[in-house]
Amino acid sequence: MQHHFSLKSLNTFGLDVYAKHYFSLLDIQQLTDLNNISDFRTNRLILGGGSNVLFTKDFDGLVIHNELKGKKIVFEDDNIVQLKVAAGENWHELVLFTIENNWGGIENLSLIPGKVGASPMQNIGAYGVELKDVFLELEAWNIQKQQIEVFDKAKCEFGYRESIFKNSAKDQYIILSVTLELQKHPKINIAYGAIEAVLNSKKISSPSIKDVSDAVIEIRQSKLPNPTVIGNAGSFFKNPYISKTQYLQLQKEYPTIPSYPVDDLTVKVPAGWLIDQAGWKGKRFGDYGVHKNQALVLVNYGSAKGQDIAHLAAKIQMDILKKYQIELQTEVNFY
Ligand code: FAD
Ligand code: NAP
């Protein structure tokens, strides 16, 4: 246990905040001992890679840094492999490991920062693939009951950047491991145009999962700010789902507004487009602002405070509501 511990290097916004207490969780056995600490029972935060959090102040409690390591095959046959991965493993290193073994399923999720344990939290997604597409089950520590529980896919209540762990089970569990089911004869998913465009430019007509991963990495590196250079937590807002009726209304005023179908009655509108059109892209206020290439990403250029970024987010939300009558929801978790 350490005290007054700097979290600056443990959050990708690079915010200079402190935890009252800090504990690095290396072994599941340590959980029973932690239960004797009052902050563990009442005032704790489980931290993975810190790539989806905004600290608006110091954390006045116990930060548990998940560093549980290990992965093992729990089942395999000619077609599939089920891989159980400890929550503290790095997500992108896991993706590279599956590609080395030619196990398909998570190649589109290349280069997402953070740890495996956080991947079910918001059902991470990119380029047409979500965690739930390969998810089998997870083990989580029930903090109240002090026991391990198994969650299958249905019990996780996955949605668009959502799960039970962001809703009714919020703050009640520590995810310990995640088991994925991957394909030994991978099916390629290049439905998102950008991947296909990169593959075409390289004249790759029957891509491997490594080709897809390389394309995703190339696109991401060209578009997204690297958090080790400019502090950020990726997309700050979720892409809103709106009714088709509202969309058709908006289209009268904004003929180029893009949309993607969700179901017969609903469409998804890219939040980045709304924010860009409203004039926020590239706006800088001192040491914080909206990224110049990606309007969905709020950035810390150096010594911004979490409060500054939270205020900017609130202003953007108000403006988008006023202009388009759309409520933007934050994707990033505030503390
Ligand atoms: P943290 O930021 O450490 O934690 C996030 C939340 O999960 C917190 O509420 C935390 O308390 C909770 N949590 C973490 N671990 C556990 C655990 N073991 N048990 C219980 N609760 C836990 N996200 C996407 O979905 N798709 C993307 O394409 C994507 N791209 C990104 C690109 C960049 C440049 C950045 C900076 C972020 C991006 N993100 C993306 C967001 C983020 O990387 C993911 O959501 C990632 O899964 C967060 O992992 P983490 O370990 O950093 O979580
Ligand atoms: P983009 O390609 O510029 O597209 C803008 C938005 O349109 C995306 O957010 C995406 O929604 C949606 N979209 C594009 N093509 C689509 C299709 N064929 N079908 C359905 N929806 C489509 O997006 P980008 O910002 O460069 O991001 C690329 C991918 O990486 C996206 O999937 C995005 O979610 C992911 N990403 C996520 C984060 C994060 O922090 N969450 C950060 C960076 C990138 P979806 O977001 O629903 O896919």
Per-residue model confidence as pLDDT tens digits over 135-184:
999 999 999 999 999 999 999 999 999 999 999 999 999 999 999 999 99
Question: 142, 143, 168, 164: which is closest to 155 by C-alpha?
Answer: 164
Ligand 2 neighbour 225 (Cβ under 6 A)? no
* Tokens matching residue 154: 């249905």
**How much is the pLDDT for 41?**
87
Q: Closest ligand to 47 CA?
A: 1
Q: Of all residues in the chain, what percent are helix, strand and coil, respectively (each to 5)?
A: 30, 30, 40
**Which residues in the chain show pLDDT less than 70?**
none
Task: Judge residue 33's burial from the number of C-beta atoms within 10 Å of its C-beta, 0-12 exposed, 13-18 middle, 19 or more buried.
Answer: exposed
Instruction: Determine contact, residues 108/128, Cβ cutoff 8 Å.
Output: yes
Residues facing 126 on adjacent strands: 129
Q: Which residue's CA is the closest to the ligand 1 atom numbered 11?
A: 46
Q: Which residues are catalytic?
A: 161, 235, 331
Atom number, ligand 1, closest to the C-alpha of residue 166: 9
Strand partners, 333: 53
Ligand 2 site, residue 191, Cβ cutoff 6 A: yes
Separation of alpha carbons 81 and 151, rounded Å:
19
Give me 299's structure tokens.
């950035």
CA end-to-end span of the chain, whole Å?
21
Q: Residue 147 has what pLDDT? A: 95
Instruction: State which ligand 2 atom lies nearest to the alpha carbon of 234.
Output: 40
Would you state the pLDDT for residue 193?
87
